[in-house]
Amino acid sequence: MMKQYHEAKAACGDALLFFRMGDFYELFLDDAKTAAQLLGLTLTSRDRDSDNPTAMAGFPHHQLDSYLNKLIRAGYRAAVCEQVEDPKQAKGLVRREITRVVSAGTLTDDGLLDPREANFLAAVYLVPVKSSGKKSAGGHAEPQAGIAWAELSSGRFESGVFPVSRIEDELARIGPAEVLYREDDARFSPDTTAPWSWTSRPAWSFAEDASRDALCKQFEVHNLEGFGFGDADGPAIRAAGAVLAYLQETQQSGLDHFRQISAHHRSPVLQIDASTRRSLEVTRTMRTGSRDGSLLGVIDRTCTPMGARLLADWMAAPLVDRESIEARLDAVSELVNDSRLRGDVRTTLKRTFDLTRLLARIATGRTGPRDLQQVSRTLENLPELKAKLTERKAERLGFVEAHLHLCPELRSQLENALADECPLNAADGNFIREGFDEELDSLRKLAAGGKEWIAGYQQKQMETTGITNLKVGYNRVFGYFLEVTNANKDKIPTEYIRKQTLKNCERFITPELKEYEEKVLAADDKASSREQLLFQNLRHETHRHLNILQEVAVAMAELDVLAALAEIATQRKWVRPELTEDSVLRIDAGRHPVLDVTLPQGEFVPNDCVHSPESGMILLITGPNMAGKSLTFARSP
């Protein structure tokens, strides 16, 4: 067994190895010592009487998510080594394999993620100075970098080329949980004070040709031009290849929900440097780093986790294209003006689930019956949403309506198959609805009937023998048995076959009991196998709809954000801005959104603001300390 452990440990590098042994995960040697200190586990040892005892620590398997969460927050990686063979079928040691490596940027489980926040894995590749072709204002070559970011829990994937001077600003905008960098690049110095973790990777994972081939294979295309990548985007492709290689290495499963990669071009969005972003507290407060109290936290009225994450994206990268801005404002205005539509949409969205992350778990093979049930219940609400958006004037509402695909066949199959209450894990069983599958129903009836017979058999034996405390018990070694206390030894019938002697009692079997045991256990096993097969079929059918369901998730998220913006605009009596091509910014009775919400009603004093060539493009603001120069006025626009 320790040979299996050492082989698995050699394969997972610096990650702590969680080694499955029955109902527990165990850690050994230095991993055990580290885990005991970080996670508060009891440190014990194997072969404690030997000259070189093996340190070990462990915990029950159902506590895995809790301990993974603590480990990731402490900046470590963990490899999960599972038993991949049924112990009943194993010849010798049960086969074990590493099924995934978990790090800050590769989380998919709800228990490890904040539903309102994206969880990006990013990679940075620095272009050698000689090959950087762009010129700065002084005529010197401007160093370039490729930055890619992907979210395993949603399938979103983007990459772009940026000036090296903007690496900090772009990472602050993306807000990754983990950043990959080339281990042999002496020019790169990770900022250890950053709120994300850093992971060094070998140079080969950033190779351009290998990265391009891997990306084309993943997206099933001949080249990446259709995604917007050109000849000058080599650094972006290298970074994206490094991200993909890391995901493939750590997940040991499908990444089918990654269907495309977007070439990020900076021109459509406002560029905000990291310092300004922190000062404006757009998505995080400066004091606590919390979402609550920031501009995002105050504005967010979304009803779904998908909408909350999309709103954060929109606020981190505001649009600068007038046509795109007007299209969003048109949709918000229509929802502001139709309070009934807005209320109905929000009420319906509250009954849906996080489809984006559900699909990611389906794609990576980590889904359970409850996930499929939540997909079904989300689909159940789509016809109502789609009907309410029919023939709306706003272009974006029309886009949403067109992409709310109803998937009636999948919905019907899931509704008919799944019980009203489903467990998280398929191994827990009893989640297929009665009447869905005749074979499963018949096996369940046989098993239930057999158990009823055993209960009746116990009563019959008590009456026949006069042993009132006689019990029928069960364990995996002996199966079903009759247990008789030593005080009743003289009443034991001759046909009882002794199976085990304990301190205070003896255990027996009878031919009749063994016959029914075989029927019950066989029916139980067959019912369990049948239910698992049906679950796999349902998961496969849902996976087959992955692409179209991802479009639904995108549409639902946008609808949620538009309705949320309309909701807060109505609540706070905000008005639609008028956009012009002139160099004029005019705000009448402007109110700082955060202060307007946090201060008592009527206490905040609105301010006017005019920037124009006539009145001046630079305003000099004077006043005593704490008079509101920066917080109340300068940050309001």
What is the mean pLDDT of the segment spanning 484-508?
88
In a domain, 626, yes or no: yes
What is the mean pLDDT of the segment spanning 46-68?
82
pLDDT of 630 reads 66
Taking the alpha carbons at both ends of the chain, their separation in whole angstroms is 65
pLDDT above 70 covers a percentage of the chain that reads 94
pLDDT above 90 covers a percentage of the chain that reads 41
Q: What is the CA radius of gyration of the chain?
A: 31
pLDDT of 267 reads 66
Alpha helices in 150-290 (DSSP H): 167-174, 208-219, 234-251, 274-280
Say if residue 606 is in the same domain as residue 511.
Answer: no
**235 pLDDT above the threshold of 90:** yes
Residues 6+ apart with CB under 8 A from 47: 53, 54
In a domain, 580, yes or no: no
In a domain, 247, yes or no: yes
- Assigned token pair, 115: 């539903």
H/E segment holding residue 307: helix 305-316
Which range in 29-38, 233-242, 247-256, 360-369 is most confidently predicted, on average pLDDT? Answer: 233-242
Query: Of 143-147, 169-173, 250-254, 294-298, where does mean pLDDT reach its minimum?
Result: 250-254
pLDDT of 136 reads 47
What is the count of structural domains for the chain? Answer: 5
Say if residue 20 is in the same domain as residue 44.
Answer: yes
In a domain, 426, yes or no: no
Last residue of a domain, one of 546, 572, 598: 572
What is the mean pLDDT of the segment spanning 566-577?
92
Q: How confident is the model at residue 266 (pLDDT cuts 50, 70, 90)?
A: low
Averaged confidence pLDDT in the chain: 87
604: domain range? 585-634
List pLDDT tens digits, range 206-229: 999 999 999 999 999 999 999 989
CA distance 54 to 111: 32
For 320, 579, 586, 620, 635, the CA distances from 617, given in Å and listed in that order, are 19, 18, 11, 10, 16
pLDDT of 355 reads 96
In a domain, 169, yes or no: yes
- Decide which of 391 and 306 is more confident: 306
Q: Are 145 and 235 in contact (CB under 8 A)?
A: yes
**139 pLDDT above the threshold of 50:** no
Nearest to 181 by CA among 132, 265, 243: 243
pLDDT of 138 reads 47
**329 pLDDT above the threshold of 60:** yes
In a domain, 627, yes or no: yes
CA distance 130 to 405: 50
Q: Are 472 and 454 in contact (CB under 8 A)?
A: yes
In a domain, 548, yes or no: no
H/E segment holding residue 483: strand 479-485
List pLDDT tens digits, range 76-119: 899 888 887 776 676 777 888 888 888 899 888 877 888 899 99
In a domain, 417, yes or no: no
Residues in the chain: 637
Q: Is 355 exposed, middle or buried (0-12, 13-18, 19+ CB in 10 A)?
A: buried
In CATH, what number is assigned to the domain containing residue 340?
A: 1.10.1420.10
Q: How confident is the model at residue 554 (pLDDT cuts 50, 70, 90)?
A: very high
CA distance 402 to 474: 58
Tokens 């239910």 identify what position?
A: 531
CA distance 445 to 449: 6
Burial 606-620 (b: 16+ CB within 10 A, else e): ebeeeeeeeeeeeee
Query: Of 37-51, 436-450, 571-585, where does mean pLDDT reach its minimum?
Result: 37-51
| Angle subtended at Cα 241 by Cα 268 and Cα 218, rounded to the nearest 5 degrees | 95
